[in-house]
Structure 1
Amino acid sequence: MTSFGNNLSSSHFILIGIPGMEDVQVWISLPIFFIYLITLLANISVLLTIKTKESLHQPMYLFLSMLLVTDLIQSSAAIPKMLLVFWFNLREISFEGCLVQMFSIHSFSIMGSSILLAMAFDRYVAICQPLRYSTILTNPLITKIGVAVMMRGTLLIFPHPFLVRRLPFCNSRVIEHTYCEHIAVAKLACADIGINVVYGLVVALLVVGVDIMGVTVSYLIILSTIFNLPSREARRKVGSTCVSHVCVILLAYIPALFSFVSQRFGGQTAPSTQIIISSLYLIVPPMLNPIIYGIKTKEIKRNTLKLFCPQKSRFQ
């Protein structure tokens, strides 16, 4: 028998969407569509605001720009195909297309986590080393951090497509998911996928473990510094600068951790629940991140209003 993995030119997968909820997927797609529109509008608006306003060319906002770009690419790699499945029943995705989608989603997910760590470092320097802020977070250092973020996401996920490509797919080609998630695809193989599972676990532990530890240590030091400030007003002002970042961190890591654990160890969790949570991780944070920063950061809020409502912004 010729294996599916050995006939790449004519091979394809079938994305099932959310198993057991096929009859209501068209209704589920409506909020996803509007969320995606808001995601595009909000992210592009904030990015344009940061680009056009020289006063926002600061490390904090440059890191935010990196985060928003990764959010846009990650969500755009998944949501359009997801909507095609839900709306028009266009479930087929080519083998190569599946590998590209897999690589894009997972690599930019790691880049986003790395940027959150960089943003935590930025807040640490700003609050704990304020007099050295401009000398530590220079443009060359920010560029190096950006390059390191891209290399980390690319190199760690680069083996994933090759680990899947080596597998023979003899029978089932139906992916019970809304996108080409690495383990969901690997499970279809008629061969041992131990290497895929182990490597995916190692990458997740390295990335999430290191990044969460780094963010936690940074904020423990930040909290210690805040509590040692002399006045309540000073503590409130300094602490408010971290609120947006903390909200974004929680939005990023809580669904991601649930998705990772349920995909590998969630034998008692309904597949539809696992897939919904995993999909929400790609849908909701990219929409909320620019909104959170827009609401909590006066500079972004004011300049975004100026960008779209120049007359009205004069009275803000």
Structure 2
Amino acid sequence: MLTGPIIAEFDAVVGFSRSTSDAPGRGRVAMTPSQIRVRADGTARRIDVDDIFDVVRDVSVAASADSTETVTLAFDAGGRRETLDVKANAATLVKFQRLVFKRLLVDADVAVARRRADDDTDDRRPCRLDVSATEIRFEPADRASRITVRRDDVARFSLSGTDVPAVVLYLRAADRVERLSVRFPSFRLLNLFGRYLRADLLAVDALGSVSDGDGAVEALLVDDDRLSREMTRVFLQEQSSRLSITEAESARAALERLSEAGGAKRIDCVVSDYKMPVMDGIEFLGAVRDRHPTLPFILYTGRGSEAVAKKAILDDVTDYVEKDVGPKQYEILAERIEKAVR
């Protein structure tokens, strides 16, 4: 007997990793808020939702609705790991996996900090998490205003590369670019949240993704502001699958990178901020021109300095792009990079 009202029920081909049957068979799956029941081969088995610790395989919402796909759930079965494969049409499985993610993530205690790219303050607040097919909601414990994020506004996300279970969401908006940092109480919940996002988003790890197709472009991004540098990398790679980004936190670090054996040959274009300590963007441009006179160099900096732009042009800069608010700037910068290396 299932506990609670049935919220999903459908026919599928099902199989357990430790099943005694020779092969997966036709069955019927039913789900309540707390359990999943699978009937197949004349037997029934129930899985507590709280025992599910991973969605090993999910279905992209981009899949054709009538295609046949598989969702695989990993769960704790009395101290041992088992998996359940559920094979059905994509439209059915997308709805099923959304219910699974919602039940697994709802009311999770998280800590959230929302800030713009140029804001490094830590205003993390405890919140309760809720997710749906279209929104991610954070309800603050202090009853302050709820933070609601539309799934369509999440351009990219990166999981923590440290021992802290956290994720950074990169949000696009018409007039600003924001990042939302979410800290989870466990890596299990962080992993499940990452799976929820990956259903229709592409994760970017701490090193960025590398495009290995024909015409790949390797850009060296130089900026002493870590948050600005990270944001630029993420959104550039959203704009073009050709772009692979190497980061440097200073002009000197970038010069060292270029001086490494074969370094200049592996870099197709330099993108540099202007205002940096020790060596600014114009001085860096001069140093690059002394060593690598034909390497494309784009100065990417804030508005309001015609003198800087003029000096950069005189020093043979390839292009000059002004920083702005909103994602449009990254579209422009990506186009300029690809144009510079043609």
Q: TM bucket by the smaller chain?
A: under 0.3
Q: Structure 2-normalised TM-score?
A: 0.21
Which structure's relative contact order is higher, taking Cα pairs within 8 Å and 6+ residues apart? 1
Q: Structure 1-normalised TM-score?
A: 0.23
Greater share of helix residues, 1 or 2? 1
Greater share of strand residues, 1 or 2? 2
Larger Rg: 2
